[in-house]
Chain A
Amino acid sequence: MNGLQIPLEHVLIIASFMFSFGLLGLMLRRNIIFMLMSLEVMLNAAALAFVAAGAKWAQADGQIIFLLILSVAAAEVAVGLGLVLQIQRRFKTLDMDTAKRMRG
């Protein structure tokens, strides 16, 4: 436990790439399952950054936040999959562009 072995920048670059891919996925995919997965990727990117930062400064905070993110992600998947089931049942599709109801 003497700090981070690889440079922090590398980890952060990987995290931001993951975040960007997640974001792109969220913006581009129409299937809600893929959108949920993209969300997970983004969460994990954030979590990675936290862990790396915690290791860098030898503080526990990063890992605590990681645990928090983990539980949030779990809750989100639970709620999200529930929604997916409902959507599938109502619209007979998982394509979010065809399932839109909230129009201005």
Chain B
Amino acid sequence: MAGSNYLWLIPFFPLLSATLLMVTAGQLPKKIIGFLGAGSIALSALCVALQAQHFLASGEIMQVTLWTWMSVANFAPGIAFYIDGLSIVMMSVITGVGFLIHLYSLEFMDDDSSYSRYFAYMNLFVAAMLLLVMADNLLLLYLGWEGVGVCSYLLVGFWYRDPANGKAARKAFVVTRVGDAAMALGLFLLFTELGSLDIQTLLLAADSKWQSGDLIPTIATALLLGGAVGKSAQLPLHTWLPDAMAGPTPVSALIHAATMVTAGVYLIARHYSLFLLAPITLEAVAWIGLATLLIAAFTALAQQDIKRILAYSTISQIGYMFLALGVGAFSAGIFHLMTHAFFKALLFLAAGAVIHCLHHEHNIFKMGGLRTRLPIVFWSFLIGSAALAALPFTSGFYSKDPILLSAWAMPNIGSYLWAGGLLGALLTAIYSFRLVFVVFFGEAKTLPNKQPGWKMSLPLALLCLLSIIGGWFVLPLDHVFPAYSHGEINHSVEIISIATPLIGLAIAYGLFLGKQLSISGFTQSTLGKALQSFCFSGWRFDALYQLLWVCPYQVLAQLWRNEPIDYLYRGIVSLMQWSNEQLSKLQSGELRWYATSMVFGLVILVLIMLRSLS
């Protein structure tokens, strides 16, 4: 069951299950729905495992074309797959973590009336995500790209009866669509210049056609970056992700933490050789990553909603991945993508368990003391936070450390990037342990009304394991990316990088648990309050965009609502009516007026005749 002939099975199972669930429209018994929903992902994961084993054994890059999608002139993208080490890593994460989240969902969504719809969307998402990472051409990738976008829209707005959820879903879709539009333009440019959308062909052609620093690859990569920024919630298109937490928590874990939001990272990594031709864009990637990770980390510090904290931390962590890509450490970026998928999925699922067991409470300050009451969840959260904060020997440590060191090794700007990343790491440690200390320690404010069952506990346990040992995985990326070494690094730099999260942990302890430190004097001051509300609102990006884009668009729509163009035609109609009125006045019925006008008419005619005679 391994080899390129069986590749189609991988996206096929989730797609089939999604179709079945949609067509039956909730008429199936619940057991079968669950069986289909989670089972299809399990089958898919099994296929991926077989393929991965085959790939690792043979190292053979698999390519298969199922059919030619469309063929016009020289434009002939296929429904075709290209599987190398990078795809294998992505597929494993998607189906592996995906399966655990589906398993968890079986219990989490148990009392929801739209059980079937939920699994249909989730399966559809997995299928689209798989297509995205398996695609051998940009058009199929774009199909997956938009497909996951729509599924994200559907799942964020899953509880559609609350208009707020619908708004969040629309925001998520439209904001990412802005990036997608840029990406589409990039596709047009690449095809027009290179004559193919086939990724490998395109990269080769680009290498031979362009020199590093040329204008066209810079524009093309900038446009692709637009797409990546939108999907991966980076500055300036990151505002949708915190709102997207309106969806069910497993959705946040799967889509808005582990898989979809990292698609941008995948896109850049997949086209790394194109980005190498555009050093300006690549540097922009690094700076975007840095800015995003800092802004998001600061924002996370001020949040109170458990899911929003995690959402901002996701944005921040993807910022690290962008930073890695930007400094050319592609493997490190993908490695962090994988470990992040593990520990962030773990954190979200644990948060979901807290919410599930605590009457759908989201505010962390109404929780507390859950350490003893929800022990499994506590340990999951602790391990996840440790990995997120990159404490030594967790998977996060092994993936974040190389990023910081690679940033340091960057010529000219390296030390700035490193320092920024380090500050981010410090903040990460603070906000993640703030979460742990506030939610699980201290006095209990709300008591849990149930305990997670095995379907929720098992995925938590497995993800805990992955979050710890994930750092030792060796990814088959050697043949994908050029060999990268950051060379000799000063030992003090390494030590500072390792020590920073521990300092952050200590600060968090001092602030939120031991109470040795107090910043209440600062937070109560006017400046402190202003700063806090500034961070709480996510640096006012929403307000800014509301002012810049949303309001003008709405005003424009309202102005145009009654069709300004039609006034032109209505004007013509009015003119006709007016002239009709004027002319009909001539038909007064007065005999004398008729006679008079006839005389004058004759006089004029005679005059004209005389003129023409002379």
Contacts and interface: CB of A to CB of B under 8 A. Distances in A.
Contact of A27 (B587, B588, B599): B599
Interface stretch (B31-39, B431-439, B590-598): B590-598
A23 B599 contact: yes
Nearest to A97: B590
Contacts of A100: 588-591
Contact of A26 (B583, B584, B586, B592): B592
Report the contact-size class of chain A (Cβ under 8 Å from the partner). Answer: 10 to 19
Contact of A101 (B585, B589, B599): B589
A55 B519 CA distance: 130
Interface string A5-42: 00000000000000000010011111010010000000
A26 B589 CA distance: 15
Contacts of B584: 104
Contacts of B589: 100-104
Contacts of A35: 591-592
Report the contact-size class of chain B (Cβ under 8 Å from the partner). Answer: 10 to 19
Contacts of A103: 587-589
A73 interface: no
A28 B592 CA distance: 7
Nearest to B592: A27
A66 B90 CA distance: 113
A96 interface: yes
B562 to A, nearest CB: 34
Contacts of A104: 583-589
B587 A102 contact: yes
A15 B291 CA distance: 104
Nearest to B600: A27
A104 B580 CA distance: 10
Contacts of A96: 590-592
Which of A100, A103, A104 is the most central at the interface, judged by chain B CB atoms within 10 Å of its CB?
A104
A27 B596 contact: yes
A97 B586 CA distance: 14
Nearest to A28: B592
A97 B587 CA distance: 13
Contacts of A29: 592
A96 B588 CA distance: 12
Contacts of A102: 587, 589
Nearest to B583: A104
Contacts of B591: 32, 35, 96, 100
A29 B599 CA distance: 15
A97 B583 CA distance: 19
B582 to A, nearest CB: 10
A96 B599 CA distance: 18
B598 to A, nearest CB: 10
A59 B10 CA distance: 116
B599 to A, nearest CB: 6
Interface in B538-590: 583-590
Nearest to A26: B595
A23 B595 CA distance: 9
Which of B584, B587, B592, B599 is the most central at the interface, judged by chain A CB atoms within 10 Å of its CB?
B592
Contacts of B585: 104
A72 B336 CA distance: 113
B591 to A, nearest CB: 5
Interface in A77-104: 96-97, 100-104
Contacts of A23: 599
Interface of A: 23, 26-30, 32, 35, 96-97, 100-104
7 contacts: A27-B596, A100-B591, A102-B589, A103-B587, A103-B589, A104-B587, A104-B588
**Pairs of residues from A and B, 5 with the lowest C-beta to C-beta distance, nearest first:** A104-B587, A100-B589, A104-B584, A102-B589, A103-B589
Given A27-B596, A104-B588, 16 more contacts: A23-B599, A26-B592, A27-B592, A35-B591, A35-B592, A96-B590, A97-B592, A100-B588, A100-B589, A100-B590, A100-B591, A103-B587, A104-B583, A104-B585, A104-B587, A104-B589
